Amino acid sequence: MSLLSVDNLSVRFTKRSGGVFSRTIGAVSAVDGVSFNIDRGETLGLVGESGSGKTTLGLSLLRGTEPTSGTVTLRPEGGQLEITALGKRDLRRARQHMQMIFQDPYSSLNPRMTVREILSEPLTAGLTDARKLSGAEVDARVVDIATKCGLSVDQLRRFPHAFSGGQRQRIAIARALVLKPDLVVCDEPISSLDVSIQAQILNLLADLQKSLGLTYLFIAHDLAAVAYICNRVAVMYLGKIVEIGPTRQVYFTPRHPYTEALMSAVPEPDPDAPRRPILLEGERPDPANPPSGCRFRTRCRFATELCAIEPPPLREVQADHSVACHHTDTIKLRGALDLRGPVQETAGR
């Protein structure tokens, strides 16, 4: 069984008119009927443009945002938790199994707490099933995880402001991991960091995954970073998953026109790589007022009448590779490498 199963999950935000007799005047389906699984030990990448619902989806798995409908099931060692059915108290306890790392390490750490306090709080806040830990045990856990995340013991008594962005992200990762969670939702964990620091954090996440047996949902818009760290990738567009499959297949033999367009837009760090054609015109439609049928049809060069009438279901086109497109079997798409021409030798040396 997968560690995490998400079935038909939707998150709708309603917009209300003001005043005493306030009523609903509109709604945005930020996440619309999304289903997927994540196996233990793997990393699923979640990519898409801003406003596609990636962050909302990540948050709703932990019920940081309440889903409107659908189920989320987590299967930690020796148990099964239906996250969407849990009461407040049980949900708090369930969070020991799933944690989150946020984009901005400047606003996600309490400036009034020392690193030691930040890292020990999850252990002492009554989130775990286990008996209460003694002070010495808490300390041992904190030191252990801090060291694993590349922080030194004498840094523990300092406050977040004394750290650079990359080091703060290490603190945030240590805080997420101190409860030994099964699943970690990483929401753009490197996008606010400098290039040279991004690589440090990517490698740290990869190493921790191996040594601690972690499972990640890795939300990012940097497609090269996603390719680097993820086994499988899900592509989102306006609240729906349009394609999901093994990273290699999604990148090199995409089956959805939006995936192809996304790949075409990544500038490759190689001056001799031929310019990729820009395959996507216009901008994404207003999520409050999505197009009928297939939501991508207004920017799709293959769209037909059928696409305007019927929303395409996400269906398996190969083992473990699913696509939501009516025409996927008849259109020819190019992958990330075909788009840029032959592979070039890497620079430098």
Q: Give min distance, CB of 271 to other proteins, in A.
A: 4
Return the residue of 91, 143, 273, 331 that touches other proteins, per CB under 8 A. Answer: 273
Closer CB to other proteins, 45 or 67, in the complex? 45
Closer CB to other proteins, 82 or 286, in the complex? 286
Q: Which residues contact 148 (CB under 8 A, 6 or more apart)?
A: 174, 177, 208, 211, 212
Segment interacting with other proteins (CB under 8 A) among 21-29, 37-45, 194-202, 319-327: 194-202
Helices within the chain (DSSP H only): 54-61, 88-94, 115-124, 135-148, 165-177, 195-212, 223-229, 247-252, 257-264, 305-309, 336-340
Q: Give min distance, CB of 345 to other proteins, in A.
A: 9
Segment interacting with other proteins (CB under 8 A) among 1-9, 78-86, 152-160, 333-341: 333-341
Q: Listing from the earlier edge strand, what are the strands of the sheet with 232-237?
A: 98-101, 183-187, 215-219, 43-47, 232-237, 240-246, 321-323, 315-318
Segment interacting with other proteins (CB under 8 A) among 54-62, 116-124, 244-252, 316-324: 244-252
Q: Which of 280, 160, 208, 177 is nearest to 41 (CA)?
A: 208
Q: Which two tokens stand for residue 338?
A: 């075909």
Segment interacting with other proteins (CB under 8 A) among 81-89, 96-104, 152-160, 164-172: 164-172
Segment interacting with other proteins (CB under 8 A) among 62-70, 74-82, 106-114, 334-342: 334-342
Footprint of other proteins on 195-224 (CB under 8 A): 195-200, 202-203, 221, 223-224
Q: Name the phi and psi angles at 322, rounded to 5.
A: -120, 150
Q: Is 119 in the site for other proteins (CB under 8 A)?
A: no
Q: Is 301 in the site for other proteins (CB under 8 A)?
A: no
Q: Give min distance, CB of 342 to other proteins, in A.
A: 10
Closer CB to other proteins, 147 or 164, in the complex? 164
Segment interacting with other proteins (CB under 8 A) among 1-9, 55-63, 65-73, 262-270: 262-270
Q: Which residues contact 339 (CB under 8 A, 6 or more apart)?
A: 260, 263, 264, 276, 277
Segment interacting with other proteins (CB under 8 A) among 5-13, 98-106, 136-144, 159-167: 159-167
Helices within 253-331 (DSSP H only): 257-264, 305-309
Range 281-312 burial, b when 16+ CB lie within 10 A, else e: eeebbebeebbebbbbbbbbebbeeebeeebb
Return the residue of 39, 272, 316, 320 that touches other proteins, per CB under 8 A. Answer: 272
Return the residue of 266, 321, 334, 338 that touches other proteins, per CB under 8 A. Answer: 266
- CA separation for the pair 279, 93 (Å, rounded): 46
Q: Is 227 in the site for other proteins (CB under 8 A)?
A: yes
Return the residue of 158, 228, 311, 338 that touches other proteins, per CB under 8 A. Answer: 228
Return the residue of 7, 42, 49, 338 that touches other proteins, per CB under 8 A. Answer: 49
Q: Which residues contact 19 (CB under 8 A, 6 or more apart)?
A: none
> Contacts with other proteins: how many residues (CB under 8 A)?
51
Q: Is 268 in the site for other proteins (CB under 8 A)?
A: yes
- CA separation for the pair 51, 220 (Å, rounded): 13
DSSP per-residue letters across 164-209: -HHHHHHHHHHHHHTT--SEEEEESTTTTS-HHHHHHHHHHHHHHH
Q: Which two tokens stand for residue 75?
A: 């299967």
Q: Which residues bind other proteins (CB under 8 A)?
A: 49-50, 164, 166-167, 194-200, 202-203, 221, 223-225, 227-228, 247-248, 251-252, 261-273, 275-276, 278, 280-281, 283-284, 336-337, 340, 343, 346-348
